[in-house]
């Protein structure tokens, strides 16, 4: 019976991943078809190169994405193994199909290059973020970066940047410098949206308080802000004097009251406040797989 429950759980995870990748691929394709392609914007990567080739030789973008990815799939299979390639293959096929199916159905959303770059970047970022969040990939430069990192020691980030810059440079010669600059803006927006989806919006703040009056601050944080506190022991690196270190996570709305509490109890406290991109546990959202 235990084995059956595990199998059902694994099947559920696989199905969730599949539909998550499919949703992301469709959203990504819509972003390309209503913002990027009509305005001749090629925001890097294999799909950006497919947009350039579409205007040069009238090749179907979805099919071109598949064709250009075939050498990468073969190299990835040899260098990275079948598991990584299968994850990329699913996202790439779904993305390519969505590109071809939705292209004749969707009219351009705008002819303004700035609007197309910004909103296209947002939509593509949402699509790509969902694909990545559910452990998928759309191949292209993301797969190429893993191959180069494994084979020649180039960092994945550098490899992806190189690939995107090459496509943007090609777009300069085909579409002109202005279109390439808008495409670069779209790429920047897309990356920021992907980060927000994968890491969260940073609505919470992590706080470290180094003080001599830890007990009183701890009590006020517990009863006035309703936030739990982790108590640590520390000492000064120079003086070696013992200090109480309090660690807690609060919402943005509670920052002002937090500062008031600390100032009232210990004006000389050393305080560090930073963004907490994701917080899971009591008082916040529960830790989940996705």
Structural tokens at position 156: 């994945």
Answer with the one of 143, 165, 199 that is the final residue of a domain: 199
Report the alpha-carbon distance of residue 21 to residue 23 in Å, rounded: 5
In a domain, 286, yes or no: no
Report the alpha-carbon distance of residue 242 to residue 228 in Å, rounded: 22
| 29 lies in the same domain as 118 | yes
Query: What pLDDT shows up at residue 201?
Result: 63
| 62 lies in the same domain as 158 | yes
Query: What pLDDT shows up at residue 6?
Result: 46
Report the alpha-carbon distance of residue 190 to residue 31 in Å, rounded: 11
For the chain, what is the mean pLDDT? 83
Query: What pLDDT shows up at residue 10?
Result: 77
Please say whether the beta carbons of 207 and 257 come within 8 A.
no
| 85 lies in the same domain as 72 | yes
Please say whether the beta carbons of 270 and 234 come within 8 A.
no
Q: Distances from the Cα of 191 to the Cαs of 49, 138, 216, 227, in angstroms?
A: 18, 15, 43, 33
Put simply, whether the predicted model's pTM sits higher than 0.75 gets the answer: no
Q: Scanning the structure block, which residue is given the tokens 């949206």? A: 193
Report the alpha-carbon distance of residue 27 to residue 140 in Å, rounded: 17
The C-alpha angle with vertex 186 and arms to 16 and 94, in degrees rounded to 5, equals 30
Q: What is the CATH number of the domain that holds 247?
A: 3.30.70.120
| 235 lies in the same domain as 194 | no
Q: Scanning the structure block, which residue is given the tokens 């539909």? A: 19
Structural tokens at position 31: 């972003």
How many domains does the structure of the chain reveal?
A: 2
Q: Distances from the Cα of 104 to the Cαs of 22, 29, 43, 129, in angstroms?
A: 19, 12, 21, 25
Answer with the one of 140, 165, 199 that is the final residue of a domain: 199
| 208 lies in the same domain as 155 | no
Please say whether the beta carbons of 90 and 21 come within 8 A.
yes
| 37 lies in the same domain as 163 | yes
Strands (E), the chain: 204-211, 230-235, 242-251, 270-276
Domain that holds residue 264: 204-276
| 93 lies in the same domain as 79 | yes
> For the chain, which residues score pLDDT lower than 70?
1-9, 153-159, 199-203, 277-290
Answer with the one of 199, 217, 236 that is the final residue of a domain: 199
In a domain, 257, yes or no: yes
The C-alpha angle with vertex 211 and arms to 205 and 213, in degrees rounded to 5, equals 110
Length of the chain, in residues = 290
| 128 lies in the same domain as 263 | no
In a domain, 134, yes or no: yes
| 52 lies in the same domain as 188 | yes
| 56 lies in the same domain as 101 | yes
φ, ψ at 256 (rounded to 5°)? -60, -45
| 38 lies in the same domain as 162 | yes
Q: Scanning the structure block, which residue is given the tokens 């090629």? A: 42
């Amino acid at each position: 019976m235990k084995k059956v429950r595990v199998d059902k759980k694994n099947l559920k995870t696989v199905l969730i991943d599949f539909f998550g990748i499919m949703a992301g691929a469709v959203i990504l394709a819509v972003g390309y078809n209503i913002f990027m392609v009509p305005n001749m914007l090629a925001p890097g990567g294999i799909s950006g190169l497919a947009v350039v080739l579409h205007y040069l030789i009238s090749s179907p973008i979805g099919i071109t994405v598949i064709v250009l990815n075939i050498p990468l799939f073969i190299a990835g299979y040899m260098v990275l193994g079948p598991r990584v390639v299968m994850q990329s293959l699913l996202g790439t096929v779904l993305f390519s199909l969505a590109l071809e199916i939705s292209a004749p159905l969707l009219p351009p959303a705008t002819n303004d290059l700035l609007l197309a770059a910004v909103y296209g970047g947002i939509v593509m970022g949402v699509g790509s973020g969902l694909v990545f969040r559910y452990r998928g990939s759309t191949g292209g430069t993301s797969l190429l970066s893993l191959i180069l990192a494994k084979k020649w020691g180039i960092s994945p980030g550098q490899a992806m940047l190189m690939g995107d810059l090459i496509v943007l440079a090609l777009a300069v010669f085909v579409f002109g410098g202005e279109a390439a600059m808008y495409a670069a803006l779209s790429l920047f927006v897309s990356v920021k949206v992907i980060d927000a989806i994968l890491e969260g919006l940073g609505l919470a703040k992590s706080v470290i308080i180094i003080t001599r009056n830890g007990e009183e601050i701890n009590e006020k944080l517990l009863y006035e802000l309703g936030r739990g506190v982790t108590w640590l022991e520390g000492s000064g690196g120079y003086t070696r004097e013992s200090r109480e270190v309090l660690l807690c996570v609060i919402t943005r709305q509670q920052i002002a009251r937090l500062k008031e509490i600390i100032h009232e109890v210990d004006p000389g406290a050393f305080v560090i406040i930073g963004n907490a991109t994701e917080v899971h546990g009591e008082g916040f959202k529960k830790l989940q797989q996705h």
